Structure 1
Amino acid sequence: MNEPTDHDSPQDNILEVVAQTLHQGDTSRAETAAISLDSHLDSDLGFDSLTRAELLVNAERRFGVQLPEALLNNAQTPRDILDAVATARGEQPAEPSIARQDGTGALAQTDADREHFTVPPFETLQEALQWHARKHPQRTYLHWVISDNDVRALSFEDLHNGSLRVANGLFRHDLEERNTVALMLPTSHDYFYGFFGALYANAIPVPLYPPAREAQLEEHLRRQAAILNNAQARVMITVPEAKRLATVIKALVPSLEHVVTPEDLWGNPLMYPVANAGGNEIAFLQYTSGSTGNPKGVQLSHANLFANIGACTEVLEVGQDDVFVSWLPLYHDMGLIGTCLSSLWLGLHLVVMSPLLFLTRPRYWLWAIHHFGGTLSPSPNFGYELCLHRLTDEDMEGLDLSSWRVAFNGAEAVSADTVERFTRRFAPWGFRPETMAPVYGLAENCVALTFPETSRKPVIDRIDRARFQEDGEAIPNDADHETVLRLVSCGKPIPHHAIRIIDGNGRECAERHEGSLQFTGPSATRGYYRNPEKTAELFDGEWLNTGDRGYIANGELFLTGRNKDLIVRAGRNLYPGEIEEAAATLEHVRRGCVAAFATGMGESTGERLVVVAETRSTDQTIRQQLKHDITQITRDRLGIDVDEVVIVKPHSIPKTSSGKLRRNDCRLRYERGELERKALPVWRQLVRLARTGWRQEGVLAWREIRRHLYSGWAWFAFGLTGLLTLVGVNLMPRRTWRWQVVHFCARALGWLTGTRLVVRGGEKLKPLPEGCVVVANHASYVDAIVIAALMPVPVSFVAKAELQRFAILRRLLRLIDAEAVDRSTDQSSVRASRRIAERAHGRRLMYFAEGSFDAAPGIQPFHMGAFMTAAVAHQPVLPIALNGTQKKMPADRWNPRPGPVEVVVGELIWPDGDDWASATQLREQTRNAIVTMTGEPDRLARPESSQPLPARDSDNSSSTDVENRV
């Protein structure tokens, strides 16, 4: 290896040593790994004990020092080795070049850092999280505001580790790759663990909203059951209160096998994420709000999300000093994608709080912006209204909103009146007019579609109301009287996206002519999940239908309403939102709780216009006055005659999970006379739900009984055959006879449990040479029994030394000539490998090269021990692939299941030499063969975002037998 040159820093040299060692040991991983001084040798780079030993040998040669043997076990990162090198040279270890943390827990960066910061080209969301957890693990990803005195931080490393725990828990609950996982959780750290845990398991998260009121429990569960059935969810993660209804929920959703809480999933973390999804695969399903129909599952790929976030970042000129503050629900696209995922992609500091906290105490939102220096924060229009009505000057004493540079206003119709009043009201506390940013987006385009140009005041278009309602033409009118309609611009399409307005015949409208809005761009969904009919309605060639109406003026979008909500009366287009906004200005009417719709279509009496308004007042005089006032204000302001006004109690008007009015459902309830139906007690709602799914409940109960019966019988059979094995092995005087006892009892156990053993290539086992190394993948505790049933000739298992703690097992392993490997330290592991290699001649050594296993599918990295033994002893390696054992009994589960096991026996692979390079080549060939034979995903084949540090072309040397060195 080359000596360090004057122009190479110690940091560069150690990183080059690490890169070259990695390249020698695992070429495929070396091509994608991102190496830094703080990369973890185990989790990030996949170094086992022998590769660590090789790394220390290479480091000693590069720096010309003798490193302590204890470093083999103690070194966790390249920085640790570099510090040991400095100590061996009599120098002071270098201070870590880690930026200090400021008061929020975020890394404080210089202006130069921000200027040169670029986001790596991530392909998936899980890649982004892994990158941040590797590059700056202690950096705070988010703060969760619970109360004034309870704010909880979550670092990238904590999120990464917690997500690995949840992913393992999901696999322990029978999850399979690309299954859907429903998340019915409130805003909390658990939500993020669940979301990214599903991604780490290569599953598809499905955000749902938890029930808000007991009075609507039945309606909520039926609505969510429709989503769960469409998504075919197999696992649902929810709160303990909802878990108590697991039987009812599973009865409504046949595909749902497990209803669990985050605590049920919390266990040992996966060793590696299962990240086989590519950028064009579904990242998660975002169900639409269902304001005009049943919710539909929008398929959003990782590429869609990154295209949308990247385009928004370009418009907003987002930098590393930006801070996102959000109270929006995490099941909503604006809250999840617009704030949380975009913050993760960019590594921004995020502050979140519960929507319920905001609704009850809206001051928390503005004070969070003040305390954390929030620069970006979104809200629907009603959030700004809530602040206007609830907050007093005393609530805002000392408040400073000057850091807030973009206040997104979207997710529902934007009111010009709200925009103006909020800007005036909060100007004394630092809110600038150009901060208010009305936007437009939809789940079918991830979240954002149009943004206003930055650093400008909102644009409000004043048009002639009569002309617009009659002809659909937006003629400017600067008059101040009430015949003028004011609409707020939602800006221009984000980069790389386009919009257009079409008429009823599909022709593109001229500027300032109203029609249906369509869009296209890289953020656009591929369609609705398992809903081909609605998907066909969504697409018009390359364009997608939004369902919204509007017009374009000066390249900017002005929204006017929804196609399905449009009311046509006497040749005029009436817009429910305008009627509802006018009625909501009256005293005693709950803002945002007014619905206008047409009813009686096709009846002899003709179509009628109905307005339903909620009030808290129970005074009948006030209620009658409200009917009169609503009729009067719509006639005076809008020139519209309302046929009927209905005054109802709070929460009578149905809304979506995001707070949008479900006008069609409101109309149906009105027609059925159920607007103010009496809320049933919870127990009666549950009884009604149970009656609906009693057949399914019976099927589920019988399935569980059968599983427990089989599991009990399997353990009885295991005990019986295990006892016979112990007795027979102790009685037989020869090792070959003892192996035949083990072989016979293992096959008997398979017969008793109905486990069919399918063997392909079994003819290669009888002529197997006595001096060889057998290597198999490892996925379950059943694997050793399968190998025993498979092998007609004796093999010596190389087993973990921990098994020696049990006296019965210790004697059994000794009698069948097993080898124990102590893995408590890297030094002991290397010494054990050397000892086994010295005794390898004339024996068939059986290795599970992965060393350990978790509940996730896929082939993990192989340890070097088996291959160094084969190379040093010049013995061939026989690869064996096991399929089905993981399903038979997954990790951390002790309930065996029925099912076959398949074994594929490969061809002998001979080493090319007896050095490290030959051993690593042998490992790579064997592992590739087993990956191919199993068809399992390769846990190392996940794409990385950063370019690796290449080994120098001039240094192609490899070390000799590292075990002799150690």
Structure 2
Amino acid sequence: MAQPGNQRSMEKDMADAVLETMAEAMPEHRKRQPEVTMTSRLDSDLGLDSLTRAELLVTVERKFGVQLPEQLLSDADTPGDILDEVMRLKGATPAEKSEKSRAEDEETNAALDAGEENREHFSVPDFETLQETLSWHAREHPDRTYLHWIKSYDDVRSLTFGDLHKGALRVANGLFQHDIEERDTIALMLPTGHDYFYGFFGALYANAIPVPLYPPMRASEIEEHLKRQASILNNAKARVMITVPEAKKLAAVVKGMVPSLEHVLTLDEVWAKPLYRPAAGTKGDDIAFLQFTSGSTGDPKGVSLSHANLFANIDAGNQVLHVDQDDVFVSWLPLYHDMGLIGTCLSSLWYGMHLVIMSPLLFLTRPQYWLWAIDRFGGTLSPSPNFGYELCLKRISDEDMEGLDLSSWRVAFNGAEAVSPDTVVRFVERFSKWGFRPEAMAPVYGLAENCVALTFPEEPREPVIDYVDRERFQKHGEAKPAPPDDDSALRFVSCGKVIPNHDIRIVDDDGNELGERQEGNLQFTGPSATRGYYRNEEKTEALFDGQWLNTGDRGYIADQELYLSGRNKDLIVRAGRNIYPGEIEEAVGELDLVRAGCVAAFASGMGESEGERLIVVAETTEKDEKKLAEAKEKIHRIAMKALDIEVDEVLMVRPHTVPKTSSGKLRRNDCRLRYERGELERKREPVWRQVARLARGTWRQQAQRSLRSAARWLYSAWAWAAMGLVSVPVWTLVNILPGLPLRWQVVHRGGRLLGLLTGTRLKVEHAERLKELPQGSIIVSNHASYLDALVLAALIPVPVSFIAKAELMKVRGLKRFLTRLEVEPVERADAQHSVGDSKRIAESAGGRRLVFFPEGSFDAAPGLRPFQMGAFMTAAVLKQSVIPITMTGTRRKLPADRWNPRPGPVNVVVGEPIEPKGDDWKSAVQLRDRARNTILETSGEPDRLFG
């Protein structure tokens, strides 16, 4: 039995052998040397092709003094598999490693009845992108649960890192098959659930930019919803939208409103076989996704957030919260909202925390589910806007909470909207009897322009409420402390201190920094700050004040802690006093007849003669006119007595009249505009009439789309017809004509005729090099489509022999055809056979010109895959030159797994011959690297070597 020290020594020697082999065969790894562990996959993690694995076995035999069986070449998946065989041959039993592997293999992440998991801790490396983060988790612990999705109390569904990774690869491939290109925007209008995560990470894996949208909440408001989403889609120039089947019924209408939108699809329609690996080329400074603002004070704006922004924000927040992998994040927040997506889901992914999610609709109808989820899964972190805590106070009875235990909840974030001192105090008081600790309540502040978080309480503590002299504050902007027993005092809740590596300040309207306890405009700066709004230079310019960014919020700083007073655009000026609507709305919302959270106060009428009027709009279900009149009178009295404010007009309106954002914030400006237009209580029209009105306005766009779609299908049908017209005589003549030169001319001219019939323009640089191909030369080309072989046949006028996968010889009617063209079959699935095939081809080349696709296979994703060594070993052994050929355009004409060709040109660049410098392994590696670099540079595609 191997001793622990000897075991560790042998593992180090094995890792050194892998790195030594890679340094010789794959010199590009010297710049970015991967981490080699005993569980690293030789192919997907380390990029070792069959010949490089063969070289590794030689190195291992030399280093350990053993002779390994040839079968190990195809059986070994990891360095640990090779080490096991080495130790067996040396008479040692790797007991310690076996125990570790067994523990890893048996790791399970199914939630226990108590909601706890046995979760092995691990060290989180530095990630550059979100997709790199998910790929790492999927590689290191694929069976570990990333999240649990609560559909109902008895229906809880888990999602592992491995399953999310595979699903995202399938969505990415499906997106490529729907013609998306790198950095295209992909709209996601999906509810909370696994499909959302597949769509979001699938877009990232395709190197596209996800754009989260919110699904329609009420059919009665479908027209307004679609107009608002069309505004976002047009700003983002979205090419594809993934949505639910119900919303897909309106696809034609949506496309008519958004010219850039080509496909409206359900996830099932995007689902395809998985990509080999995520598309490469994304950097930390690239846009990760677009987070559209809620639009509470105007039209939503697309905040451009890079991967670096996100990681800086998550890391800064974790420094304050002291997060570890025992933490459990529980959230009902919508996934299109920054706090729901970034603050919970992406931060959980980054650190490997357990995430528990539920639908916002489930929370709104049964808020107790949120608290019971915290109990069941041992939730330690959970966020909500203030109205969520208020909803729990109003809608959850004591009977609903019998047996509830909230003692695990260590941080209850309260943000995304104004924090009410009353709500904070009452929630702490009531739920303390069920284990909720006062220091868990954490009022915070953040905004999409800084990813999500900007200020947190520095240490666990009870919420801090500041009492301020009303007169001095409203008239002079001075937050002078007042006694807590002063009934007229204004109260503000501390949102904590700025997160590490960031800074905030308060400035006046001229941009001058204000001192302690002076109210003004809040600005911030730091590594989480956005670079601006997507395709909106005007708003971006207004956002920045030098290195500082304007939040649009007002507040003051005291003892380095931030106290928010309101939004600039919501400010009401009456008799020289600054009045914020939130205080009025909260007081009115406490009346019995008024729907809490559904009150809007705003100023209207800016003319000099009439002056500014204060309007209060309150929703109610009451219809009795007498009771409504009494409620209006109460509102007038409350405003005057408690707030010393005279309200000019009170309107009692039916439910769902006050407009709100997707995250539940009041759209006061929209409410004011509707009031001034006399459209506050518009008559609700049937859904069909709203949709018909939208369709009438987009019929031209829909007609043009239909014509373009018909043209594409007609072209596809003609392309296949042309293929049939050409292939039948070509197949017949190749099977009956004598001599390879004559048969090749048939194939060559047939390929050119097919290009002519399909309108495919073939542009070739250095075509003269193809006419002068020397005997015995090795031709290598990138591989992006089934069309590649046809293109090369159409361009190369002299006979060549293609190296093709052996499966083609099993296709009925093809074996004789391919044999008469001297196609050489190779086994790609079996590493041991692949090495033997390379030797066989080199021995039987006989001066033929051989054509290799060294990538071996292709998928719909752009980028150049790693090159296998067969072509270059053959060239080195035969001492023949390698001619690199680069093709672009074939992937777009016919992507992988698609059978509807589309028009477009094909460009080909024929490179200069590359001569081998010897006949050994090192020379073959040099040939491969020079050829690959040439093709990479001329193709303009990303490098998928490390993708």
- What is the TM-score with the length of structure 2 in the denominator? 0.96
Distance 1:714 1:224 in 2: 38
| Corresponding residue of 2:65 | 64
Find the counterpart in structure 2 of residue 838 from structure 1: 843
1:166 to 167, 171, 177: 171
Q: 1:71 to 1:252 in 2, by over 3 A?
A: same
Deviation at 1:109, TM superposition (A): 5.7
Letter in 2 for 1:43: S
Structure 1: how far apart are the matches of 2:512 and 2:55? 69
Matched residue, 1:133: 138
Give me the whole-angstrom Cα distance separating, in 2, the residues matched to 1:754 and 1:301. Answer: 41
In structure 1, C-alpha distance between the alignment counterparts of 2:513 and 2:52, rounded to whole Å = 65
Q: For 1:684 and 1:96, locate their aligned partners in 2 and report how far apart those are by CA, in whole Å.
A: 67
Q: Return the offset for 1:764.
A: 1.2
Find the residue that maps to 1:686 and give its secondary structure.
helix
Higher mean alpha-carbon deviation, 603-612 vs 432-441, is at 603-612
- Specify the code of the residue in structure 1 equivalent to 2:42: L
The sequence identity of aligned pairs, in percent, is 66
Alignment-derived partner of residue 326 in structure 1: 331
1:853 aligns with 2:858: yes
* Residue in 2 that maps onto 1:26: 26
Is the 8 Å Cα contact of residues 565 and 576 (structure 1) preserved in structure 2? Answer: yes
- Confirm or deny: 8 A CA contact 2:108 2:143 kept in the other structure: no
Does structure 2 retain, via aligned residues, the 8 Å contact 1:178–1:204? yes
User: 2:737 is matched with which residue: 732, 745, 764?
Assistant: 732
- Secondary structure of the structure 1 residue equivalent to 2:402: coil
Deviations 1:555-574 (A, max 9, x none): 11110110000000111111
1:155 aligns with 2:139: no
**Alignment equivalent of 2:307, drawn from 299, 302, 305:** 302
Could you tell me how far 1:218 is from its partner in structure 2? 0.8
1:651 aligns to 2:643 (yes or no): no
Match of 1:387?
A: 392
- Do structure 1's residue 186 and structure 2's residue 191 form an aligned pair? yes
| Distance change (3 Å), C-alpha of 1:230 and 1:96 | farther
1:787-866 matched pairs, under 5 angstroms: 787-866=792-871
The answer to whether the aligner puts 1:77 opposite 2:78 as a matched pair is yes
For residue 882 of structure 1, what is the amino acid of its counterpart? M
Q: Which stretch shifts more, 402-411 or 820-829?
A: 820-829
Within 2, Cα distance between the matches of 1:7 and 1:270? 37
Contact 1:276–1:941 at 8 Å: present in 2 too?
Answer: no
Match of 1:628 in 2: 633
Of 547, 553, 558, which aligns to 1:553?
558
Name the counterpart of 1:279.
284
Would you say the 8 A contact 2:109–2:144 is kept in 1?
Answer: no
Amino acid at match of 2:12: D
Counterpart CA distance in 2 for 1:142 and 1:917 is: 47
Residue pair 2:505, 2:523 contacting (<8 A) in 1 also: yes
1:484 pairs, out of 478, 481, 489, with 489
> 2:24 touches 2:922 (CA, 8 Å); kept in 1?
yes
Matched residue SS, 2:527 = coil
SS of residue paired to 2:814:
helix
Rounded to whole Å, the distance in 2 between the matches of 1:136 and 1:477 is 56
- 1:702 is matched with which residue? 707
1:614 paired residue among 619, 622, 643:
619
Deviation at 1:823, TM superposition (A): 2.5
Contact residue 466 and residue 483 of structure 1 kept, 8 A: no
CA distance in 2, matches of 1:226, 1:499: 32
The one-letter amino acid paired with 2:279 is V
Give the structure 2 partner of residue 466 of structure 1.
471
Tell me which residue corresponds to 2:39.
38
2:111 corresponds to = 104
* Alpha-carbon distance in structure 1 between the residues aligned to 2:108 and 2:526: 39
- Of 207-216 and 38-47, more deviation after overlay is shown by 38-47
Residue 6 of structure 1 deviates from its aligned partner by 5.4
- Consecutive unaligned residues in structure 1, runs of 5 or more: 943-966
Deviations 1:866-922 (A, max 9, x none): 112112222211100001111111111111111111110011112222222222222
The CA distance in 2 between the partners of 1:937 and 1:413, in whole Å, is: 46
Q: C-alpha separation between the residues in 2 aligned to 1:119 and 1:7?
A: 25
| 1:176 to 2:171 alignment | no
Q: Residue by residue, what CA displacement relative to the aligned partner does 1:814-858 show, whole Å, maximum 9, x if unpaired?
A: 111111112342222222222112112311111111111100111
What's the C-alpha RMSD, in Å, of the aligned pairs? 1.7
Aligned pair 1:668/2:669, yes or no? Answer: no
In 2, the alpha carbon distance for the partners of 1:29 and 1:152 equals 40
Residue in structure 2 matched with residue 215 of structure 1 by the alignment: 220
Cα distance in structure 1, aligned partners of 2:25 and 2:255: 48
Residue 526 in structure 1 maps to residue 527 in structure 2: no
Distance in 2, Cα, partners of 1:187 & 1:42: 35
8 Å CA contact 1:841, 1:873 repeated in 2: no
Q: What amino acid is aligned across from residue 319 of structure 2 in structure 1?
A: E
- Which amino acid in 2 is paired with 1:845? L
Q: Does 1:16 align with 2:23?
A: no
Query: Aligned equivalents of 2:511 and 2:811: distance in 1?
Result: 77
SS of residue paired to 1:793:
coil
| Paired residue type of 2:22 | L
Structure 1 residues 120, 824: closer, same or farther in 2, change over 3 A? closer
| Alpha-carbon spacing, 1:108–1:19, altered in 2? closer, same or farther (3 Å) | farther
Query: Which residue, 444, 454, 461 being the options, matches 2:459?
Result: 454
Q: Do 2:109 and 2:145's aligned partners in 1 also have CA atoms closer than 8 Å?
A: no
C-alpha distance in structure 2 between counterparts of 1:179 and 1:415, whole Å: 41
Of residues 684-693 and 727-736 in structure 1, the stretch that sits farther from structure 2 once superposed is 727-736
Q: Which amino acid aligns with 1:142?
A: L
Question: What is the CA distance between 1:101 and its match in structure 2?
Answer: 4.6
Can you list the C-alpha shifts for 1:177-232, whole angstroms capped at 9, x where unaligned?
01111111111111111111111111111111111110011110110000000000
2:410 maps to what in 1? 405
Contact 1:29 1:941 in 2 (8 A): no
Give the equivalent residue in structure 2 for 1:253: 258
Superposition TM-score, scaled by structure 1 size: 0.95
Cα distance in 2 for partners of 1:147, 1:77 equals 41
**What secondary structure is seen at the aligned counterpart in 1 of 2:646?**
coil
C-alpha deviation, 1:550, in angstroms: 0.6
Question: Amino acid of the residue matched to residue 16 of structure 1?
Answer: D
Deviation readout 1:506-548 (Å, 9 max, x if unpaired): 2111211111111111111111111111111111111111100
In the alignment, which residue of structure 1 is the partner of 2:447?
A: 442
Name which of 562, 566, 577 aligns with 2:571: 566
- Does the CA-based 8 Å contact 1:166-1:265 persist in structure 2? yes
- CA separation in 2, counterparts of 1:911 and 1:618? 91
Contact kept, 8 Å, 2:828 with 2:856, in 1: the verdict is no
Aligned equivalent of 1:598: 603
User: What are the superposed Cα offsets for residues 423-448 of structure 1, whole Å, 9 maximum, x if unpaired?
Assistant: 01110111111101000000011101
Q: CA deviation at 1:941?
A: 4.6
SS in 2 for 1:774: strand
**TM-aligned CA deviation for residue 771 of structure 1:** 0.7
2:109–2:119: 8 Å Cα contact kept in structure 1?
no
Corresponding position: 1:887 with 2:892: yes
Aligned residue pair count: 934
Q: What does residue 592 of structure 2 align with?
A: 587
Instruction: For 1:347 and 1:17, locate their aligned partners in 2 and report how far apart those are by CA, in whole Å.
Output: 31
Please tell me whether the aligned partners of residues 271 and 854 of structure 1 are also in contact (alpha carbons under 8 angstroms). Answer: yes
SS state of the match for residue 65, structure 1? coil
CA displacement, residues 139-190 of structure 1 (integer Å, 9 cap, x when unaligned): 1111111112211111112111111111111100010001111111111111
Q: What is the rounded CA distance, in whole Å, between the counterparts of 1:102 and 1:730 in structure 2?
A: 59
What are the Cα deviations for residues 317-367 of structure 1, in whole angstroms up to 9, with x where unaligned? 111211111111110001111111111111111111111111111111111
| Cα deviation 1:714-751 (Å, max 9, x = unaligned) | 11111111112112212321111110111011001111
Q: Say which of 752, 757, 764 aligns to 1:747.
A: 752
Counterpart in the other structure of 1:50: 51
Q: 1:904 aligns with which of 893, 906, 909?
A: 909
Q: CA deviation at 1:800?
A: 1.1
| SS at structure 2 position matched to 1:549 | strand
For 2:771, what is the secondary structure of its paired residue? coil
Structure 2 residues not aligned, in runs of 5+: none
- Greater RCO, 1 or 2 (C-alpha within 8 Å, sep 6+): 1
CA contact (8 A) 1:343 1:350 kept: yes
